[in-house]
Amino acid sequence: MKQLVIFGNTYQQGNIDKVLSVLEHLRGSGFSIAVERGYLDFLSNGQPWQWPSFDTSRVPEADMALSLGGDGTFLTTVMWVSRMGMPILGINTGHLGYLTAGHLDEESDLIDDVLAGNYRIEERTMLQVKCDAVEIPHPWALNEIAILRHDTSSMLDMETRLRTRELTTYRGDGLIVSTPTGSTAYNMSVGGPILEPTTSCLVLSPISPHSLTMRPLVVRDDSEIVVRTYSRTSQYEVSIDGEVALCPTGSTLTISRAPYCARVVQRESNNFASTLRKKLLWGTDQR
């Protein structure tokens, strides 16, 4: 019997019946499940349910975490379980779902694949960030850490060091440090390269740089990146997979590889090339 912990999206009312059907299917297939309390409250709408629940501050040990939602839900699940070394299976209930293994309509096949062991676990690099002036509550990211302007149209000056050596001062709207997994997220939208998710590297991509010679830079994933940021305002933003922290102007961020990886469950039929074709419509005639 496999132990599963369930996390989910609490904004998609139209999928509740399908999700409840998935949970019943899991139990009928011999899985032991526990559902994150806030998600269970959303699904039950005040009605009692027989499934065990848990709080995110005390996630129980399990063989696998199941993320029901889109990429945002998947990133939240990563935040809660990756330190435990728990594999994460994503089932997309929305539109793109780039990080997920399949769609809600395919849940029967996905469950059968898990039962039969027809899946692999990919270890994905994660990032951590520290600020010398304030404590960042959730400092780990699977996609990216981005330095951004706060309440101003003025540029940021970001003095950047790479592996203790001076690199450059980026001037512009911000700077993204992305993992290979996050290369198809914010990094791609600013013109950064797409990387195969299991490669051992990071990308530094400036946002609207003042100098056109400032191009995205690929570095080793064991690189420590130190950035001191100046602005005309008293604060700047640090976005950690979409979670925003405010840091004082003149403070220093240290960004490095996290001490653990995200363990992402992929079906054997999924691969990097097919994901690009399916999710990003590569090779599709869009006329």
- Each residue's pLDDT tens digit, 78-110: 999 999 999 999 999 877 788 988 888 888 888
Spatial distance between the Cα atoms of 204 and 160, rounded to a whole number of angstroms: 10
Spatial distance between the Cα atoms of 81 and 269, rounded to a whole number of angstroms: 25
Spatial distance between the Cα atoms of 76 and 68, rounded to a whole number of angstroms: 11
Structure-model confidence comparison of residues 153 and 201, the more confident one = 201
Spatial distance between the Cα atoms of 120 and 122, rounded to a whole number of angstroms: 6
pLDDT at residue 142 in the model = 98
* pLDDT at residue 287 greater than cutoff 70: no
Alpha helices in the chain (DSSP H): 16-28, 37-44, 71-81, 107-116, 186-189, 272-279
With bands split at pLDDT 50, 70 and 90, how would you rate the model's confidence at 285? Answer: low
Average pLDDT over residues 40-62: 89
* pLDDT at residue 202 greater than cutoff 90: yes
Please give the helix or strand (H or E) that residue 92 lies within, else none. Answer: strand 88-92
Instruction: Give the alpha-carbon dihedral of 240, 245, 248, 251, to 10 degrees.
Output: -30
pLDDT at residue 270 in the model = 83
* pLDDT at residue 1 greater than cutoff 60: no
Residue of 41, 55, 63, 71 with catalytic role: 71
Q: Are 99 and 239 in contact (CB under 8 A)?
A: no
Q: Are 23 and 6 in contact (CB under 8 A)?
A: yes
pLDDT at residue 214 in the model = 93
* pLDDT at residue 160 greater than cutoff 70: yes
Q: Are 109 and 91 in contact (CB under 8 A)?
A: no
The question of whether 71 is a catalytic residue gets the answer: yes
Spatial distance between the Cα atoms of 82 and 227, rounded to a whole number of angstroms: 26
Percent of the chain with pLDDT over 90: 70
- Closest by CA to 35, choosing from 21, 55, 63, is 55
Residue in the structure block whose two tokens are 């096949």: 109
Average pLDDT over residues 40-48: 85
Spatial distance between the Cα atoms of 139 and 247, rounded to a whole number of angstroms: 13
Q: Are 4 and 32 in contact (CB under 8 A)?
A: yes
Question: At 28, is the secondary structure helix, strand, or coil?
Answer: helix
pLDDT at residue 38 in the model = 93
pLDDT at residue 72 in the model = 92
For residue range 115-129, what is the model confidence (pLDDT) as tens digits? 888 899 999 999 999
